Amino acid sequence: MSKTTCLKKVFLPFALLVLVLASGCQTKPATAPADPPAAPVSQAAVEYWQTQFPAQVASYLRTKEEEATAFAGSVPYQKLDAYPFMRTMYHGFGFWFDFRESRGHMYTIEDTLVTGRPKFGGVCFGCKSADYPALVAEYGQVEFDTMPWSEAARKTEHPVACIDCHDPDSPDFALRLTRPWLEEAIVAQGKTLADFDMRSLVCAQCHSEYYFEGPFTQNKIVFPWSQGFRPEDALAHFNAVNFSDWTHPRTGAGVHKVQHPEFEFYQGSIHANLGLSCADCHMPTVKDAQGKEYTQHWLASPLKHMEASCQRCHSDLTEIRTRTEAIQGELRASANEIGLELEKAINALRDARRTPNVNQEMVRQAQAKHREAQLLLDWFLVENSTGFHNAAEGRRILEAARKATQEMANLTAQ
């Protein structure tokens, strides 16, 4: 017998034995471990309400769409490049570095994260995140509002959502207010919530002018409504409490950066006097595929859904669009003219202040006019309808801004 044959006779039975034993000991193939159960979606997430309110949620998610309109829209662009005089107006303040057109509500957190402007603290999420009320309840109002912005950012996850305006514990998902500063401002006027339509008040929580009382120490949001809703009323309020957002480095004037005063601007307008709320035009009643009515939550310009928003009262939509854009174009052109004149007046006051033995009383008066003119013009510039919410008020404000700018220029020309 050869050596090879001998090895085969010894090895093959052994290998067979090992195979049999291995087969007997082998367990069933192991299955892949199951994924851990998904964490429950927070009520602060829009998606949480998708099953209960599918049409409303689907329409709200359309705020992710980016589309320009004739004078605004939701496509981010750098306003400082489009309107260079703004760099002079905002010199010395955060908006001097970055002032972009905002996108829709689903981008409120993301757009806050990418802006190049300095941040005051957690309060910056007051109108940017549906998590804000819960975080205030957890940490305390002042504690969260003054929390370093980067730390607060790590605690926020959900952009503006359903529970910012609706009570999830009510049987009919009723409208509610979740930001304390709105009612405080209304009470300061000697009025109550009952004096206004809740379908506008939920929007006014954030679509209003505000400032921070106790910057960095309290960061308390205050609406300057104690004197009324007009920009002159806001200026009277600021003068009474001796508040300025910053001192303009060119003129030495204490000036303000106005923030989206849509609610104030709308007061006294044609549509407001007819009893229409924000929701009537921006959130019209429409029908789903089954013919069931629901409130559309695609928060966008009514010009994007005119059949639903405008045609209930106006039959000729082409004429309405033409008229709307003509009003906006007229007011935008006036604002641009005044902005250029204000830029010249600001630089003229800067040069006057550099003049030896300059008349200090003249400087003081010119600074007061700068404070007035800038607030008036900015009120129009940052109101998001390019004047259409209240065209008559837009014309009045711009005329007042033009007059104050001219008076400022006349003073420095002496």
- CATH number, residue 124: 1.10.1130.10
* Within-domain flag for 94: yes
d(Cα 52, Cα 56) in Å, to the nearest integer? Answer: 9
Closest by Cα among 164, 243, 233 to 211? 243
Q: Evaluate if pTM is beyond 0.75.
A: yes
Q: 3-state class of 261 per DSSP?
A: coil
Q: Bridge-partner residues for 212, per DSSP?
A: 221
* Within-domain flag for 359: no
Tell me the pLDDT band of 23, cut-offs 50, 70 and 90.
very low
pLDDT given for residue 41 in this prediction? 83
Give whole-number Cα distances, 151 to 138, 161, 218, 266, in Å: 14, 22, 17, 36
Q: Which residue has the tokens 């975080």?
A: 135
d(Cα 19, Cα 21) in Å, to the nearest integer? Answer: 6
Helical (H) or strand (E) element with 216: none
Which residues neighbour 124 within 8 Å (Cβ) at sequence distance 6 or greater? 112, 149, 152
pLDDT given for residue 18 in this prediction? 32
**Is pLDDT above 60 for 29?**
no
* Within-domain flag for 159: yes
Q: Which of 13-17, 253-257, 339-343 is least confident?
A: 13-17
* Within-domain flag for 330: no
pLDDT given for residue 173 in this prediction? 96
* Within-domain flag for 41: no
Average pLDDT, stretch 40-49? 90
Q: Bridge-partner residues for 178, per DSSP?
A: none
Q: Are 399 and 361 in contact (CB under 8 A)?
A: no
- Exposure string of 299-329, with b = 16+ CB inside 10 Å and e = fewer, is bbbbbbbbebbbeeeeeeeeebbeebbebbe
Tell me the pLDDT band of 264, cut-offs 50, 70 and 90.
very high
pLDDT given for residue 121 in this prediction? 96
Domain that holds residue 135: 46-313
Q: Helices 317-353 and 391-412 sit at what angle, rounded to 10 degrees?
A: 20
* Within-domain flag for 92: yes
* Within-domain flag for 154: yes
Average pLDDT, stretch 100-109? 95
pLDDT given for residue 72 in this prediction? 83
Tell me the pLDDT band of 35, cut-offs 50, 70 and 90.
low
Q: Bridge-partner residues for 229, per DSSP?
A: none
Backbone angles phi, psi at 159, to 5 degrees: -70, 180
Query: In total, how many domains does the chain have?
Result: 1
d(Cα 145, Cα 76) in Å, to the nearest integer? Answer: 27
Q: Which two tokens stand for residue 20?
A: 């049999």
* Within-domain flag for 108: yes
**Is pLDDT above 50 for 140?**
yes
What's the CA dihedral at 142, 200, 167, 66 to 10 degrees?
A: -90
CA 328 to chain centre: 21
Q: Which two tokens stand for residue 313?
A: 């009262």
Closest by Cα among 412, 324, 325 to 373? 412
Question: How many CB atoms within 10 Å of residue 267?
Answer: 17
Query: Tell me: the pLDDT tens digits for 267-283?
Result: 999 999 999 999 999 99
Residue 141 half-sphere exposure toward CB, CA atoms < 13 A: 8
Average pLDDT of the chain? 91
